[in-house]
Every structure is written in structure tokens, then in C-alpha cells.
Structure 1
Amino acid sequence: MSKISFTSGSHKHLIESTTDTTFTLEFNDKSSGSLFLEIDGEGTLDLIYDLGAYGNWSILVMNRSSKSLTITEDIRLHEFSKLSMNYGELSYGSHIKNTVANFLGHDSELDLNSAILSFDSIKWSIMANHLAKRSKANVNNQAIVLKNAHLDLDIIGKIENGNSGSETHQMTRIMNLGDGLKTIVHPQLLIEENDVAASHAASVGQANEEHIYYLQSRGLTRQESLKLIVLGYLMPIVHLIPEQESKDTLEKEIESKVMEAWTI
């Protein structure tokens, strides 16, 4: 197991999985800043994010693996910590992910946002596990599933008894493009406490033909119209990221991968 400690400031780090790799990313108490984390490789990767009390961080995780990779994430939020956790899942390969955000301290907050472009196969379980009072979670996923690709999402909000004042919210939007694809989304709320706020929403559908027709009437081809629609579908996630450099990085990556999607 390797441990990486982060003090306040802006950081960039690459983690390459070989066979079985474990990393603990530790963010000091009362620290703040941003982290751009790139992930590559294959095999099994275990990641622990330990956000200290009163910490305030923005993290962008970019998965660049084009191989078979299983990632387990344990996000630990201590009292009054705030985390903006953002994902660019835009790569080829067969990927299995299990992300659990454990709210260990009261008044901890998480905003989790993902932009997903499924070229191959992605199976991802995301849980907001509220183990402390007045903890808050917002989980937002925007996904495009391409021809012959698979996407399977489990989105879970869990508030255990006694953790009053907590909130857990989730929204997932998926657009299917092409034939031979498979899309599954399971939004779940597991609530054991009365004094809470909880919501979920999920939609799965095709590109709107009226929108395509409108763009074509302005001189664009169908392919060009679809590219613009896909960009418009994924880009709102970018604006939820507080840190400008991470915004710019994810925006460029989305644009590049959307253009690439029409060349395969």
C-alpha cells in the first residue's frame, strides 16, 4: 500500500495500476485545493480518499485506461469537510467501478459529478453512505452510450437511523446512440431516518429527432447535428466543477472524445 499526502494547493498525479495496486490519498485537516488525478493501467486498483476535518477540495479523476480495469474507491469525509468529486469516464476498455462515499463526520458534504462516454463496457456502483448527522450528497451523472457498448449504473443513497438533518440526492441522464447497446440504471434510496431530504431521478432515451431535424434545417449534416447534441448533453457537468483548470481539462477531453467517437 502506498500513501500520498496533500497539503493546500493545486496538485496533479498519475496512478498506474499493474496487477493489484492500493493507494491512500490523504488530505490534511483544514487544507484546501485541487487535484487532477489520472488513472491508467489494468488489473485491480483500490483507492482511499481520506478528506480531513474542515477540508475543502476539488478532485478531477480522469480514467485513461483502454484495458480491463477494476477500481474500488473508498471516500472518507470527516466533520465539516467539503468535496467536489468529478469524473471523466471517456476511455475504451472494460471497466468495473465501485465507489462508496462514507460520511464519517457531521456536516460533511459531497458533490459528485460524472461525464461518461461508453465506448466498450462500464459497470459502476456509486453509494452515498450517510453515517453522520447533517451530511449532504448530490450525485449527478451524464452519460452517452455508443453502438455496441454497455453501461450499467447502480446509484444508491443510504441514510442510517439517527443521522438526522442529512440530505441525499441523485440525478442520472443517459442518451443511447446506435444499435446493439445495453443500458441499465438502478437509482436507489435506502432511508432509515425520518428527518432527512432525499430524491432521485433517472432518464434513458434516444437523441431527440426534432432537435436533429432543426439542426439539419440550419445546414448541418445528421452526423454534425448528433455531435453537437452529444456535446451539449455532456458539457453541463463541466460547469459544476469549481476549479477552472479542471473545468478546462475535462471540457477539452469531452470535445476530443466526442470527435473520436465518430471515427470508429
Structure 2
Amino acid sequence: MSIQTILPIDRNAVIELSRSKQEPEWMTNLRSEGLALAEQLELPKLEKTRIDRWNINAYGSYKKQAKIASIDELPEAAKGLSNPDNLIVQKNSGIVFNQTAEQLKQQGVIFTDLETALQEHADLVRPYFMKAVEANENQITALHSALWSGGIFVYVPKNVAVDIPLQALFITDDAEASFVPHIIIVAETNSSVTYVENFLSVGEGAPLVQSSIAEVYVKAGAKVSFASVHNMGDSITDVTYRRAILDQDSKIEWVVGEMNYGNSMSDITSILKGAGSDSDAKVICVGTNDQKLNLTTRAVHFGRSTTSDMITRAVMRDQSTAIINGITKIEKGATDANGQQTEKVLMLSPKARGDANPILLIDEDEVKAGHAASVGQVNPDQIHYLMSRGITKSEAQRLIIYGFLAPVVSKIPISNIEEQLQRLVERKLGQ
């Protein structure tokens, strides 16, 4: 079944913008093809979620952004989230700040915005753009391939270890400006890198869709740590795809904090193609008001002796709703694979709703796989016990919530991200 997109997007304007940026012809063609696909494809089908009832048509239009000289010119809410070393800042549709240490350049590391990478390293970008996440998957991915702007490109050469985290900050403060960043990370054989990103909205604005895609390519023996915190207001609908393709003996660590106030869809997928590859994903979220969340974490095992571990913790209050999906898929031939997952939802209000859906899809006999899932409210016996020790009821509840989130938060390998998530949790819970 095909549908006609109702988005007021002018194909000629998209093509003209691409050409005005002097993008390669293949990118201009991809944008055009993406719009054509969007007119035919349906929205993604989400478990127990009607995304068509969300505000998903407000993409805005491209607006060129003025550069800033230093991070002191950032909005107050954005200050303190990053330091100026190895930092790229995207505001609305475009990059406004880009600073990379000379040491990285000497190592051959490329850390720049994707638009610049298209100009200077098109041959490196082309094999990876919209290859892990394909434009023809659904209407949202098709539109993303047509409308993306700004973005990040990371390339780490063979045998290079990047010791300092690479940081990206994405800010929206104009609902009329498109906010569609695309991230590509390529870690060559036996390299390593840590990438940290923050998404932030400033001020109360009209409805806007944030549509981002991150594609991570981890070559043999390489390691990538990918930390992402989304903290946008209730007028922002957040639709994010993160996907990694792993070769032999490679590893990816996902650390994701979904701290938005608006409706959010997150899809994190690791494709373990190479033997001995490993994926570790840790996700926390807090839902408030009438917010609707649909979070999927997925590991697909193709290689032998591959391992995956997924931990998701959700705390829901007010009338918020969370659908938490964990999917472990072990393909035929992936002998000695080991896939584990845990999803837990804690509800602080009788009107809050949380569903934890563990799914194991096993097509091979010689494997290990397991899951654990729970949905429940704060245990009154635990509250009573803590109060009997002289702790107030509100403090007792706070301790229980942080104990619930600790298996994820305490294992975050980047201390400033751990502290940031702690602050955001406190703010969302009104503590």
C-alpha cells in the first residue's frame, strides 16, 4: 500500500539547495530519490504506538546559520555541556562552531561536519551514507535522506586510538528551521574512539520534528563508545535511528539517555556481522505529563561467538506512556552467540503506563540467550522500611528511583555524562 505525503516540501527547492551547497551529483540525486520514496512509503510501524497521531509533519525549512566565535555565545542552557576542544555545534539547520585539536589532524583523524566532509572527503562519505540505515525503510528515513543538513563525520584511521572524547552539540531554538542532522562514524581496523552528543531545545516554540540518523561502522578489532543524551522540550517530536555494523572482534558501547519532554521514538540497532563482535547497550528514560515514548534496542547476530547485552530502565510518572522493546535476533550460522537483555519499567503514578516487551528470535541451536522484564510501581514496603529509619517519604522514593536506575547510570564510562544524566533525572522528577 502506498500513501501520498502531505508534507509541504518543494522538490525543486531541495535540489536547488543541494546544488547551491555544491554537493556531489550523487548526493543531489539521493535527495531527489528520497522525496520520491517518501510519497510512496508508509510511516514506521511501532509496537503498540500510533505514530501517525503524533505531530510528525513539522519539519520546517532550511535556514542558514551564522557562525559563532566561541562557545560563550551559545544559549545559557547549552553552556557547560561540552568543552571547546574537539567540539562541533549545530544550531537548527547548520553548523555554527567547529574546533578540532591539531593532534587529531596529525593522526589522520577526520572530525568535521558532514557538509564539509562532502566537499573535502566525498569518496569517504559515499560508501557509508544511508547504507546502515536505508532510505527505503519507511517514510521518515526517506525524508531524512532528502532533508538532512549539518551533521557529523568521524573517520579514525587504522591503529589510531583517540584518547579525548569527540563532542557534538545539537541545538534548536527556531521551530521554522529544519533540524535533521546525520552522523557517520567510521572506525578502521584496531582503532578506538569515544563520541559524545547532546541534543537540546531552547525556549518554547511551535511544533517541530527532530529527525536524526547515526550510522556507525566498526571495523575489525575496533572499538566505538557512543554516548547520546536527548533533552528537548514538549513541542519537539524526536525520531532517532542509531545503527552500527560490526566486523570481526569489534565492539560498540551505546549509552543513551532519553530525557525529552515530547513524544519520542528511538531505535538502536547493532548488526554483529563479524565473528567475535560485541555490543553493549544501556538506555534510561524518564517520562512525564502525557508524553509517549517508544524505545527499541536490537541486536542482530550473524557472526560466530558474537555477544550482545541490552539494559533499559524507564521511570514513568503522571500520564506518560512507554513502550520498551528489546529484540535479540540470532541468525542461522551464528553458533556460540550469546544475547542477553533486560527491560524494566517503574511507574510512579497509577495513570502512567509502561510495557516491557522482550523478544528472542533464535534460528541457531548452539547459542545462549536470555531476557528479563518487569513493570511495576514503587514497592510500599521499601518506602516503609526507609521511613522507619528516619528518612522522609519523598527522600525514600528518590533513593528507590536512583537505585532502580543505578545498573545503567553507574556503568556509564564517561563521568560528565553520568553527572549530566543524574541532573536531568532529578529535574524531570521534580526533585
TM-score, length-scaled by structure 1:
0.91
Is the contact made by 1:231 and 1:254 (CA closer than 8 Å) also made in structure 2? Answer: no
- Which runs of structure 2 are paired with 1:1-264 in the superposition (5 Å)? 2=114, 4-7=153-156, 8-10=162-164, 11-15=166-170, 18-40=178-200, 42-66=209-233, 67-119=236-288, 120-241=291-412, 243=413, 246=414, 248-263=415-430
By how many angstroms is 1:262 displaced? 4.3
Provide the alpha-carbon RMSD of the alignment: 2.0
Choose between structure 1 and 2 for higher RCO, CA contacts under 8 A separated by at least 6 residues. 1
Once the two structures are superposed, residues 208-234 of structure 1 have per-residue CA deviations (whole angstroms, 9 ceiling, x without a partner) of: 111111121222221121111111111
User: Residue 237 of structure 1 aligns to a residue in which SS?
Assistant: helix
Task: Tell me how far apart the structure 1 counterparts of residues 220 and 200 of structure 2 sit (CA, whole Å).
Answer: 30
Task: Tell me how far apart the structure 2 counterparts of residues 85 and 258 of structure 1 sit (CA, whole Å).
Answer: 19
Q: 1:158 to 1:219 in 2, by over 3 A?
A: same
User: Residue 37 of structure 1 aligns to a residue in which SS?
Assistant: strand
Once the two structures are superposed, residues 14-71 of structure 1 have per-residue CA deviations (whole angstroms, 9 ceiling, x without a partner) of: 2458344332122232112322222346432111111122112322111122211101
Task: Tell me how far apart the structure 1 counterparts of residues 429 and 286 of structure 2 sit (CA, whole Å).
Answer: 12
Is the contact made by 1:230 and 1:258 (CA closer than 8 Å) also made in structure 2? Answer: no
Q: 1:45 to 1:105 in 2, by over 3 A?
A: same
User: Residue 410 of structure 2 aligns to a residue in which SS?
Assistant: helix
**Runs in 1 of length 4+ with deviation above 3 angstroms?**
15-21, 261-264
Of 37-46 and 148-157, deviating more is 37-46
Is the contact made by 1:235 and 1:251 (CA closer than 8 Å) also made in structure 2? Answer: no
Is the contact made by 1:100 and 1:127 (CA closer than 8 Å) also made in structure 2? Answer: yes
Gaps of 5+ in 2: 1-26, 28-113, 115-151, 157-161, 173-177, 202-208
Is the contact made by 1:129 and 1:159 (CA closer than 8 Å) also made in structure 2? Answer: yes
Q: 1:206 to 1:260 in 2, by over 3 A?
A: same
Whichever structure has more helix as a proportion of its residues is 2
By how many angstroms is 1:91 displaced? 2.6
Which letter maps to 1:174? V
Task: Tell me how far apart the structure 1 counterparts of residues 264 and 316 of structure 2 sit (CA, whole Å).
Answer: 14
Q: 1:153 to 1:5 in 2, by over 3 A?
A: same
**Greater C-alpha Rg:** 2
Which letter maps to 1:139? M
Gaps of 5+ in 1: none
By how many angstroms is 1:6 displaced? 4.2
Task: Tell me how far apart the structure 1 counterparts of residues 180 and 428 of structure 2 sit (CA, whole Å).
Answer: 31
Is the contact made by 2:232 and 2:259 (CA closer than 8 Å) also made in structure 1? Answer: no
Percent of aligned pairs with the same amino acid: 22
Aligned length: 260
TM-score, length-scaled by structure 2:
0.57
Is the contact made by 1:57 and 1:84 (CA closer than 8 Å) also made in structure 2? Answer: yes
Of 191-200 and 221-230, deviating more is 221-230
Task: Tell me how far apart the structure 1 counterparts of residues 271 and 278 of structure 2 sit (CA, whole Å).
Answer: 10
Q: 1:165 to 1:209 in 2, by over 3 A?
A: same
Once the two structures are superposed, residues 196-250 of structure 1 have per-residue CA deviations (whole angstroms, 9 ceiling, x without a partner) of: 1101110111111111111212222211211111111112213333x3xx1x223
Of 84-93 and 148-157, deviating more is 84-93
Which letter maps to 2:198? E
User: Residue 9 of structure 1 aligns to a residue in which SS?
Assistant: coil
Whichever structure has more strand as a proportion of its residues is 1
